[in-house]
């Protein structure tokens, strides 16, 4: 999370800047992608949300668009139809959520509206056809907003506050919801609470006017581990949970009604667990490999192979080429991984072996400003 000083205006203007004319990525043999970058703008030189066209082979990046004067769009997500983009604006007690129209071909963003959220320091956002769901870290809450026909957001429709704490006397004395993510089919929502070491399962009822989310189950994981993010496989019967505080990766079995049980515990830690700061976890497009980044003093990314029983086997770990690898994204074709480094302001490019899962640094990187969320499409 960032420490905040409070400027007079949360949104000074709705400034949208189209990049100057640059040659496009025309390599027909692969390696050309578009990428959205969410950033921290406060006390940095970042303007907001950036859209790039990237040639992964050469490392060249053509800035297509930047949505400027948007405060701390630290997590962004595309709607299922790619016609809208939504961003949390992480700003402590004055946080908001922004809705944009989006042109996936040109990268152009147009601000639709900004709504206040009861979440303090919202840090994750999930989208369905009807709703936008945010996770509030400091407030330990989940908020639900309706998507209007034009893609803009309603005022908040439901707020759920978690309760409890865990054993870490610094990070776990209150709830800290770090993620709220839907299962495939969007019948259930899973929330990761770093402060309570708990995963809560919510039933999603999109037609209900007030009780859109209803808690139906929960699972407590290892005390002091700090659940941060999880990712589900395509079938939705396995979830891979990354714990920030101790670097644990937990494999969960997910039942038809989203009941959870622990199958395996492994780790991304190496010899210095005090250097942990686990950040992001994603599964490859073919579902055969899971990757997770570690910040702290580790600054690396670990690859696991998914076994036939759904458990994980570590196959490699490499340095990410920057400080604080907050997030990464796997290209839709699975050929490359882009890693965003919040502190050093660079996005490094790795070539990915689809057969072994192992990563090779290309030596190419994109200069950025406090990048903390990546979406390749």
Residue 329's DSSP bridge partners are 338
pLDDT in tens, 87-111: 999 998 799 999 999 999 999 999 9
Rg (CA), the chain: 19
Quick check: 365 and 349 in contact, CB under 8 A?
yes
φ/ψ bin of 268: left (φ > 0), alpha (ψ from -120 to 50), beta (otherwise):
alpha
- Read off φ and ψ for residue 98, nearest 5 degrees: -115, 140
Residue 74: name the closest of 48, 116, 39, 122 by CA: 39
Q: What is the dihedral of CA 229, 198, 289, 319, to 10 degrees?
A: 50
Whether pLDDT at 4 is above 60: no
Separation between Cα atoms, residue 3 and residue 364, nearest integer Å:
31
Quick check: 58 and 364 in contact, CB under 8 A?
yes
What is the pLDDT, as a whole number, of residue 83?
97
If you average pLDDT over residues 44-72, what whole number do you get?
Answer: 95
What is the pLDDT, as a whole number, of residue 62?
97
Residue for token digits 């996936």?
Answer: 104
- Read off φ and ψ for residue 31, nearest 5 degrees: 105, 0
pTM score: 0.93
Flag the least confident range among 4-13, 145-154, 200-209, 340-349: 4-13
> What average pLDDT does the structure give for the chain?
93
- Read off φ and ψ for residue 184, nearest 5 degrees: -55, 135
For residue 359, what pLDDT band results from cuts at 50, 70 and 90? very high
Q: Which of the two residues, 250 and 19, has the higher pLDDT score?
A: 250
What is the pLDDT, as a whole number, of residue 5?
37
DSSP letters for 302-323 = EEEEEPTTS-EEEEEEEE-SSS
What is the pLDDT, as a whole number, of residue 273?
63
φ/ψ bin of 185: left (φ > 0), alpha (ψ from -120 to 50), beta (otherwise):
left
Who contacts 339 (Cβ-Cβ below 8 Å, separation ≥6)?
293, 301, 320, 321, 322, 325, 327, 328, 347, 348, 350
What is the pLDDT, as a whole number, of residue 16?
42
Whether pLDDT at 218 is above 50: yes
Whether pLDDT at 3 is above 60: no
What letters, b where the CB count within 10 A reaches 16 and e where it falls short, cover 150-180?
ebbbeebbbbbebeebbebeebbebbbbbbb
Quick check: 203 and 216 in contact, CB under 8 A?
yes
For residue 69, what pLDDT band results from cuts at 50, 70 and 90? confident
Residue for token digits 């919040």?
Answer: 342
Percentage, residues of the chain above pLDDT 90: 88
């Amino acid at each position: 999370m960032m420490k905040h000083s409070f400027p007079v205006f949360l949104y000074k203007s709705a400034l949208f800047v189209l990049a100057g004319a640059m040659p496009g990525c025309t390599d027909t043999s692969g390696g050309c992608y578009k990428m959205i970058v969410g950033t921290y703008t406060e006390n940095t030189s970042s303007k907001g949300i950036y859209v790039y066209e990237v040639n992964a082979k050469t490392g060249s990046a053509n800035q297509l668009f930047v949505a400027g004067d948007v405060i701390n769009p630290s997590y962004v997500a595309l709607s299922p139809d790619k016609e809208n983009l939504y961003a949390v604006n992480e700003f402590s007690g004055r946080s908001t959520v922004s809705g944009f129209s989006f042109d996936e071909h040109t990268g152009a963003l147009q601000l639709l509206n900004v709504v206040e959220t009861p979440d303090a320091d919202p840090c994750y956002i999930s989208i369905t056809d009807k709703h936008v769901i945010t996770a509030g870290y400091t407030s330990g809450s989940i908020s639900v907003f309706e998507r209007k026909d034009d893609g803009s957001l309603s005022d908040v429709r439901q707020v759920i506050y978690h309760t409890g704490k865990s054993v870490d006397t610094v990070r776990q004395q209150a709830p800290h919801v770090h993620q709220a993510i839907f299962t495939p089919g969007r019948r259930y929502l899973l929330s990761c609470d770093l402060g309570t070491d708990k995963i809560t399962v919510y039933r999603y009822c999109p037609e209900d006017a007030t009780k859109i989310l209803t808690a139906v189950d929960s699972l407590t994981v290892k005390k002091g581990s700090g659940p941060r993010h999880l990712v589900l496989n395509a079938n939705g019967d396995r979830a891979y949970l990354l714990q920030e505080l101790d670097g644990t990766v937990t494999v969960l079995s997910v039942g038809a009604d989203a009941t959870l049980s622990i199958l395996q515990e492994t780790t991304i830690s190496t010899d210095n667990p005090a250097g942990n700061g686990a950040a992001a976890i994603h599964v490859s497009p073919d579902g055969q490999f899971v990757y997770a980044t570690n910040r702290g003093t580790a600054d690396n990314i670990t690859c696991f192979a998914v076994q036939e029983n759904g458990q994980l086997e570590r196959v490699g770990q490499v340095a990410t080429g920057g400080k604080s690898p907050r997030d990464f994204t796997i290209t839709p074709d699975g050929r490359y991984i882009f890693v965003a480094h919040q502190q050093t302001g660079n996005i490094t490019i790795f070539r990915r072996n689809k057969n072994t899962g192992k990563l090779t640094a290309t030596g190419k990187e994109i200069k950025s400003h406090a990048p903390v969320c990546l979406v390749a499409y």
